[in-house]
Amino acid sequence: MKFFIDTANLDQIKEAQDLGVLDGVTTNPSLMAKEGITGEENIEQHYRKICEIVDGDVSAEVISTDFDGMVKEAEHLVTLHPQIVVKIPMTREGVKAIKYLNDKGIRVNCTLVFSAGQALLAAKAGATYVSPFIGRLDDISTDGVALIRQIVDIYNYYGFETQVLAASVRHTLHIIQVMEAGADVATCPLKPILGLLKHPLTDIGLEKFLNDHRNAGK
């Protein structure tokens, strides 16, 4: 399984990288805007900076919504750095673009996936990753983790190679749940990743070990 961090914040990406367990980064236009990164040149420069920090795949999303525009953007984005994976939205034009780009050897992360049917189309078109947004499903009283389980079952049954990238993962328990469901990747902000570290018995146990060591032989 892999951990991606879902942010465009360079400090948080560095912090996750320093932990030694980071496998990649996902971004989207909202996350770039949140960091105040605007303008084509700055955005491209930012993707390069992210790629220099991490070793793994970095998702960069297209802004176009038509086939020609998506393909043109994708072909340009992958020239920025070999780690770039192009994020294409799950639309009719998007599916056509995924198929075209896959045939050309360009790796795609199909984003904004909310159903098993959409995930099936992404896999058929040859996406490297499919990103079901589980938190946004939970937000509308629909079980996001159940969707991950369903997609994993379908992909396993038919032997699709598309990796299930659980996205919109909002908290630490979500990470455990999507891993139990068989997701290949979980992408989330830094906080839920750091949440995996925490257990009060670890803190209590460590304090006792250190105290016993200090008091030994007294």
Residues that bind ligand E4P (CB under 6 A): 6, 26, 28, 111, 131, 133, 135-136, 167-168, 170, 187
Minimum CB distance to ligand E4P, residue 200 (Å): 28
Helix, strand or coil for residue 182?
A: coil
Nearer to ligand E4P, 100 or 114 (CB): 114
| 87 carries an active-site annotation | yes
Question: Which two three-digit tokens encode residue 122?
Answer: 């992404």
Residues 6 or more apart in contact with residue 148 via CB below 8 angstroms? 132, 134, 164, 166, 177, 178, 181, 182, 183
Minimum CB distance to ligand E4P, residue 180 (Å): 19
Nearer to ligand E4P, 85 or 121 (CB): 85
Can you tell me the distance from the alpha carbon of 39 to that of 47, in angstroms, rounded to the nearest whole number?
Answer: 12
Q: Which of 2, 87, 124, 198 is catalytic?
A: 87
The residue among 118, 108, 10, 122 whose CA lies nearest residue 60 is 108
Minimum CB distance to ligand E4P, residue 129 (Å): 9
Which residues does the annotation mark as catalytic?
87
